[in-house]
């Protein structure tokens, strides 16, 4: 565990008027009651706003559902943990004995929360405008990749991510029928989702394509149920 | 349907450099493809950040879970729709024929979305700092009420709101046993929640108290599962 916060500020390319905020942002709840959870709450909201604002401007023709999906592809535990690793945040984390022993400094959830807390500390120390610049610089490659359409995930991935984000079981796909001659086959697949009473079906010339169609049908039903474009 | 946006700007106590943004914010998706969904996306994020930032400062001793609950008590469809009604937004909404006929201008979801879109329009037209002041003025009474602890909802209410926010069924409470003499009874209640395999139990000297205890037990399990304080 490194303790030289001056070095970390150089690494983050930002200097804090109140380095105590940075220290708080690095303190996991396992290390005591003055930990990074409050700053994470603030940072999560700031990050959500900054990315929404940026996407709104970069993609003037994207619909709301597309903007939401793009944001979800940037702001999620996996991406945030990868960015935290690039900043080497893990080396500066302040963890309790148990988490230290079990390698908490490598865990996605702890790294992702710490990065959000660092963002909260920057908002608090410097204000939203400098924080916005810092976030946009951190996400610059990810934002550039969006312009190439990499966020347009396939229906199976989107369905899985939606269910996981709500702590629900993964969808189950089942081959219902396979018809036609070897070179002209039609597959039918059923997709079972915890939130939907009836299975959703999809057809296609390959099993994989039928699964994607079934996932798309499930997403459509869930979109109606939740009143938003998934 | 009123169309005089100058009057609405007086009502909102804000003047737009680009009144077209305000018009877009008032246009429900039933009225066409250039509607308020993009601005709602932006406004929702801005509102979440402004309220998080304000709560962070007003309640320096509140834990993250308390801040989240306070925010949820301010930023929800019911509260937003009530604020939209106070601003008489319904009278200016631009709705498609079907929604107009079925009274869409009175519906909570449409009013709440329109208010978020107006917030998005203010961010876009004036920037985040003026928008922040506008939001804080709009929520001033609600924020003042928080300081008196009105946000501290009971476990049954919190459990219900959490499940509703995820589109899940309401919890089911069942009286399991009732023991003791008439003036010294002990009630045991089971609480069934869609996301939890096993029922959660609570005991108390009244059925109501036992239900609250069972709901608190369910919230505890869900908090562990979702890794946050519910």
Q: Please confirm, yes or no, whether B99 is among the known catalytic residues.
A: no
Geometric angle at alpha carbon A217, from A211 and A220, rounded to 5°: 145
User: Where do we find the tokens 């991935």?
Assistant: A157
The confidence score (pLDDT) of residue B150 equals 57
Which stretch of DSSP H or E encloses residue B202?
A: strand B200-204
Contact A196, A222 (CB under 8 A): yes
**How are beta strands B186-192 and A172-179 bridged, if at all?**
unpaired
Query: Which ipTM value was assigned to this complex?
Result: 0.72
Identified catalytic residue from A116, A124, A125, A211? A116
Nearest alpha carbon to residue B191 among B169, B218, B167: B218
What is the Cα–Cα distance from B207 to B191, expressed in whole angstroms? 12
Q: How many residues are there in chain A?
A: 230
What is the Cα–Cα distance from A186 to A198, expressed in whole angstroms? 22
- What are the helix (H) ranges across B59-149? 64-74, 77-86, 97-101, 108-126, 128-138, 140-146
Which stretch of DSSP H or E encloses residue B203?
A: strand B200-204
What is the Cα–Cα distance from B62 to A4, expressed in whole angstroms? 29
Which structure tokens are listed for B156? 């049954």
Where are the strands (E) in A61-164, listed by range?
none
Phi, psi for B194 (deg, rounded to 5): -50, -40
Candidate from B42, B64, B226 with C-beta closest to A52: B42
Which structure tokens are listed for A7? 């070095």
Number of Cβ pairs < 8 A linking chain A and chain B: 75
The confidence score (pLDDT) of residue B191 equals 96
Low-confidence ranges of chain B (pLDDT < 50): none
CA distances from B171 to B167, B195, B201 (A): 12, 10, 12
What is the Cα–Cα distance from B54 to B71, expressed in whole angstroms? 10
Phi, psi for B96 (deg, rounded to 5): -70, 170
For the four alpha carbons of A124, A126, A131 and A132, in that order, the dihedral sign comes to positive
Nearest alpha carbon to residue B68 among A6, A3, A37, A223: A37
Contact B188, B199 (CB under 8 A): no
Nearest alpha carbon to residue A193 among A221, A167, A225, A170: A170
Partners of residue B166 in chain A, C-beta under 8 Å: 166
The pTM of the whole model exceeds 0.80: no
Contact B95, B106 (CB under 8 A): no
Q: Please confirm, yes or no, whether A116 is among the known catalytic residues.
A: yes
What is the Cα–Cα distance from A103 to A87, expressed in whole angstroms? 18
The answer for residues whose C-beta is within 8 angstroms of residue B183's C-beta and 6 or more apart is none
Query: Any idea of the CA torsion for A55, A56, A59, A65, to the nearest 10 degrees?
Result: 90
Which stretch of DSSP H or E encloses residue B192?
A: strand B186-192
Q: What is the pLDDT along chain A (230 residues), one digit of tens a residue?
A: 777 899 999 999 999 999 999 999 999 999 988 899 999 999 999 999 999 999 999 999 898 988 998 999 899 999 999 999 999 999 999 999 989 899 888 999 999 999 999 999 999 999 999 999 999 999 999 999 887 665 667 889 889 988 888 888 899 999 999 988 877 888 999 999 988 988 999 998 889 989 999 999 999 888 888 766 67
Nearest alpha carbon to residue A114 among A230, A1, A227, A228: A1
Q: Which domains does chain A have, with CATH numbers?
A: 5-147 (1.10.1520.10), 155-226 (3.30.160.20)
Asked if B56 lies within 8 A of A41 by C-beta distance, the reply is yes
Where are the strands (E) in chain A, listed by range?
172-179, 186-192, 200-204
Distance from CA of A207 to the nearest CA of B (A): 31
Asked if B49 lies within 8 A of A53 by C-beta distance, the reply is no
Q: For residue A113, what is the DSSP state? A: H
Which structure tokens are listed for B20? 């077209």
Identified catalytic residue from B40, B54, B113, B116? B116
The confidence score (pLDDT) of residue B181 equals 83
Candidate from B49, B63, B168 with C-beta closest to A49: B49
What is the Cα–Cα distance from A89 to A43, expressed in whole angstroms? 15
Rg (CA), chain A: 21
What is the Cα–Cα distance from B60 to B56, expressed in whole angstroms? 6
Candidate from B41, B64, B120 with C-beta closest to A41: B64
The residues on A that touch B, with CB distances below 8 Å, are 37-38, 40-42, 44-46, 48-49, 51-53, 56, 62-64, 67-68, 109, 120, 123-124, 128, 166-168, 195, 225-227
The confidence score (pLDDT) of residue B165 equals 81
Measured in whole angstroms, the distance separating CA A195 from the mean position of its chain's CA atoms is 22
The confidence score (pLDDT) of residue A150 equals 57
What is the Cα–Cα distance from B230 to B221, expressed in whole angstroms? 10
């Amino acid at each position: 565990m490194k303790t030289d916060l001056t070095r970390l500020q150089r690494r983050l390319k930002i200097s804090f008027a109140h380095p105590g905020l940075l220290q708080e942002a690095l303190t996991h709840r396992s290390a005591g009651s003055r930990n990074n959870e409050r700053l994470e709450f603030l940072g999560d909201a700031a990050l959500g706003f900054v990315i929404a604002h940026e996407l709104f401007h970069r993609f003037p023709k994207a619909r709301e559902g597309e903007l939401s999906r793009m944001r979800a592809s940037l702001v999620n535990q996996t991406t945030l943990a990868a960015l935290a690793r690039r900043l080497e945040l893990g080396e500066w984390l302040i963890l309790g004995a148990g988490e230290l022993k079990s390698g908490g400094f490598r865990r996605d959830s702890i790294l992702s929360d710490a990065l959000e807390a660092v963002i909260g500390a920057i908002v608090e120390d410097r204000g939203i405008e400098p924080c916005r610049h810092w976030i946009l610089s951190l996400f610059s490659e990810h934002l550039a990749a969006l312009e190439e359409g990499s966020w347009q995930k396939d229906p199976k991935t989107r369905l899985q991510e939606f269910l996981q984000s709500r702590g629900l079981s993964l969808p189950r796909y089942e081959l219902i029928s396979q018809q036609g001659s070897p070179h002209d086959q039609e597959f039918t697949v059923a997709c079972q989702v915890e939130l939907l009473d009836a299975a959703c079906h999809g057809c296609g010339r390959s099993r994989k394509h039928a699964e994607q169609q079934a996932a798309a049908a499930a997403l459509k039903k869930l979109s109606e149920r939740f009143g938003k474009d998934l």
